Amino acid sequence: MDITSAATATASAAPSTAAPSTGSQAPSPLSLVLVVASDREGRFAPVITDWFRSRLDEREDFTVTVVDLAEIDLPTSLSHNPSPAVRSELAKVTPVLEAADAFVVVTPEYNHSFPASLKNLIDRHYTEWQAKPVGFVSYGGISGGLRAVEQLRQVFAEVHAVTVRDSVSFHSAWGLFDEDGRHKDPAGAEAAAKVLLDQLGWWGRALKDAKTIRPYGA
Ligand SMILES: Cc1cc2nc3c(=O)[nH]c(=O)nc-3n(C[C@H](O)[C@H](O)[C@H](O)COP(=O)(O)O)c2cc1C
């Protein structure tokens, strides 16, 4: 069983979070920010990201904004008084994170962890992550990025984000897609993406509604 199938299989044992059909008017879509973690030259990330965006195109419960870390130039040295250049880069991303209702992180695995570019983005923000759900689409060699995801769960807990249980993962990802970026056998991955997005939607809606009654931490 590949890891994509495993994600689907474990998802099937979890309680359903799909929105019930109430017949009432659908709520406005949640604002989902898709964070593309790899900024590596020659990266595989666009194939995975495009595939996941195709899954989001099927949904009406999310609007999507992409934060691609290859397009943001942030030094790893942190400062309380960032230079104008760093402020300018942060201005591209911080308001987007602030406005998000939910996140999906598309991450590879590097040396059993996630890329430094992603840690840098996380560490440069705090309230922007708070009381919001985070889902994961991971890829890599034999582990399918799952070790990176498990580490990210610890990191996101520290900034008061809520990680959703089910994820989508692709092991030996480069063999799963054809030269046009199409998944060769997509059923398992599509089912896993649906479970992930249903859980993200449930948490995103629940937390957004809760914050209208009581601001987080108040
Ligand atoms: C520095 C580095 C370390 C890696 N370490 C792992 C690893 O620990 N486990 C794994 O499954 N794949 C590992 N890989 C393979 C990557 O997950 C794979 O090349 C993936 O495509 C990288 O994503 P990207 O191409 O979008 O940057 C590593 C790749 C690099 C460049």
Q: Which domains does the chain have, with CATH numbers?
A: 30-213 (3.40.50.360)
Tell me which residue has its CA closest to atom 22 in ligand 1: 108
Q: How confident is the model at residue 25, as a pLDDT?
A: 78
**Residues 87-119 pLDDT 10s:** 999 999 999 999 999 999 999 999 999 999 999
The number of the ligand 1 atom at minimal distance from the alpha carbon of 46 is 26
The number of the ligand 1 atom at minimal distance from the alpha carbon of 171 is 11
* Residue ranges around ligand 1 (CB below 6 Å): 38, 40, 43-45, 108-112, 140-143
pLDDT score of 17 more than 80 = no
**Residues 135-178 pLDDT 10s:** 999 999 999 999 999 999 999 999 999 999 999 999 999 999 99
Phi, psi dihedrals of residue 68, rounded to the nearest 5°: -100, 115
The number of the ligand 1 atom at minimal distance from the alpha carbon of 173 is 21
Tell me which residue has its CA closest to atom 11 in ligand 1: 141
Neighbours of 111 (CB within 10 A): 8
Phi, psi dihedrals of residue 192, rounded to the nearest 5°: -65, -40
* d(C-alpha 22, C-alpha 184), whole Å: 36
Q: How confident is the model at residue 26, as a pLDDT?
A: 79
Q: Residue type at 188?
A: G
Ligand 1 center to 130 CA (angstroms): 29
* d(C-alpha 186, C-alpha 197), whole Å: 16
- Could you tell me where the DSSP H helices lie in the chain? 3-13, 45-56, 84-99, 116-123, 146-158, 187-213
pLDDT score of 84 more than 80 = yes
The residue to mutate among 2, 106, 109, 112, having the most atoms of ligand 1 within 8 angstroms of its beta carbon, is: 109
pLDDT score of 13 more than 60 = no
Tokens 């398992």 sit at which residue? 188
Contact by Cβ (8 Å): 196, 168:
yes
Tell me which residue has its CA closest to atom 3 in ligand 1: 110
Tell me which residue has its CA closest to atom 29 in ligand 1: 110
Q: Among residues 48, 31, 30, which one has the least CA distance to residue 137?
A: 48
Mean pLDDT of the chain: 91
Ligand 1 center to 43 CA (angstroms): 9
Q: How confident is the model at residue 23, as a pLDDT?
A: 54
- Could you tell me where the DSSP H helices lie in 114-186? 116-123, 146-158
Q: Among residues 135, 138, 136, which one has the least CA distance to residue 172?
A: 138
Rounded to 10 degrees, what is the CA torsion of 130, 169, 190, 33? 30
Ligand 1 center to 109 CA (angstroms): 5
Ligand 1 center to 157 CA (angstroms): 24
The number of the ligand 1 atom at minimal distance from the alpha carbon of 111 is 8
Q: How confident is the model at residue 39, as a pLDDT?
A: 98
